Structure 1
Amino acid sequence: MTLSPRTRILVTALAALLLAGVAIAYAASARSAKSARDQAAAVPSAPVGSGPRLQVLTNGRLSTVSSADPGGPREVTALECDRAYAAAGTVACLKPAGPLSATALSVMDTSLKERASIPLRGFPNRLRVSASGRMVAWTLFIDGHSYATTGFSTQAGILDTRTGRLVKSLEDFRITLNGRPYRNPDANFWGVTFAADDNRFYATLSTGGRRHLVEGDFTARTMRTLRDNVECPSLSPDGTRIAYKSAVGGDPKKGWRLSVLDLASGRVTPLAETRSVDDQPAWLDDRTIAYALQTGDGTNNTWSVPSDGTGAPRLLIPGANSPSTTGGPASSPSPSTSPASR
């Protein structure tokens, strides 16, 4: 079919407009891609130990914020972890290492140079580094994914980074329960925290349907129970108190309450946070305790509360979990946002 001159002109014009549109779209797409690349490149991979900072995970990526301004600018690295913790120049990271439940413990220095890598089996749950940076402890879920369910199984281990001594399961230690030697295949341990001597530690023992606070001796490979209904202990920087979560009414299905135990007197102080906190609390200093809470949409936020039971919870670092100081105890962080709704 022969087109008239006028039709040929219209077709040519339309084709030109179409090609121009494609060119504009391509240019816009290229600019958008370049912007995305620029933003990704702008994310700093700064050493996590530089200056007085707090370490957290932001959407699973290792990050740091100023301890004086935790709600301020955040340095986000490319390193992905399910749990992380830092102390005295040691950075520990639990991360998936393959299909199913393969996990790796990575121990690094503050420049994120790996010093040790240990293959593990299970789902990352808890992680701690001793105040000296020498000892690293972790907890993995082997079966189940919640302390509120029955039939779950955990495995807790400890690494001495100075000697290389590795204990993959605390179940190999001798247990003294209420003053008597004890052995039961249902024993589970989780939530290790270290004393200043890098030998003594505290953890949770679950057996016979009860949960106990235990004090352990790493060198002697022993543990003894101290009291009931104490989970995920965290020893204060001065070594005198333990922050922990306790099941409401002794029933984990009712949720957990954060409290502080004075080791000398046995006095328990419930903290001002009354929401259920399923986390191992972290001491930012001798007066401030940090912990993570998850919102209904799955967002993790880091909160803080005074350790003496006064005050109110404050949102410390939005969109973050796994809080720790990068060195020794940090200065008291400035509350950057409003108290929690009561």
Structure 2
Amino acid sequence: MKKKLIIDLDTGVDDAQAIMVALAAPNVEILGITCCHGNTPLENVLKNTLRVLKVCNRLDIPVYRGCSKPLLAHEQNAGDFHGKDGLGEVPDPDAPGLELLQKKKAVEAMIKIVKENPGEVTLVAMAPLTNLAVAVQLDPSLPKKLKALYIMGGNTESRGNTTACGEFNFVADPEAAYIVLDCYTCPTYIASWEFSCKNSLPWSFCDQWLAQNTEKAAFMKKITCLSMTRARSTDYQKEITTGQGFNSCDTYAMAAAIDDTFITESEEVAVTVELAGTYTRGMMVLDYMELLKKKHKAFIMKKVDLEKLMQMFMNSLN
């Protein structure tokens, strides 16, 4: 039986890579894609998602408009890395129009799809968690109906990529991240910022991956040029925990959702999010001392099978 996924995203370059990895997986059925503010403003996210689906000839997959702003935080994006449009600033004059979007809003769709497939849907969250937070407020029973939740976000060593101690997805909507980690009691797997840095893809592999002679590879090479140039820069390599290669953050959460054997080492610990700190707002907190008295714990990814990830990447551009 195919794995049923809902993908919640803010389509930048790594989201695009994750979508294409999922589309190439024979064991996956994407029931819907819900869009959220994040890497780029929501209108760009919607356009970018449709562009990726078009190049993969999968515009049949329903795409839904989600939250355009965080719950309380000031809106921000990651245009310096992904480009102002979120997809490398290489526009497509023949890009699909927004009339292809579903009429139903993302949060409503998420609740409906999960209700119709109880215990079967895996939610892969690769954006600020605003859509998920609103969904659980509207339907508190939603997490119990999910099979699992995979999140790209947060950090484990207080090392930030947006603030001194904060990872982008959690910093972009700390209140939403707090609500999701508190209310989603389904099996939860988290690919943190530092983890993804330590499991980056070698540059030699990236060159081989993008050299494939396909339309998808040509598209990927175009949209990743800006972010890969940035990622290879000395300044950027100083920011991250390892300088060994390209870090496709969101794809780690997606790969884990697709293949149960992808995660080779994890730790189970209760987590929450700091909301008030001057320097630490948005930082994920790991409760090793169990002072929070939380019954629900998350699986924090530590090590993965990079060979499997590289094969998924190669297959995604075939």
TM class by shorter-chain length?
under 0.3
TM-score, with normalisation over the residues of structure 2? 0.28
Question: Which structure: greater helix fraction?
Answer: 2
Larger strand percent: 1
Q: TM-score, length-normalised on structure 1?
A: 0.26
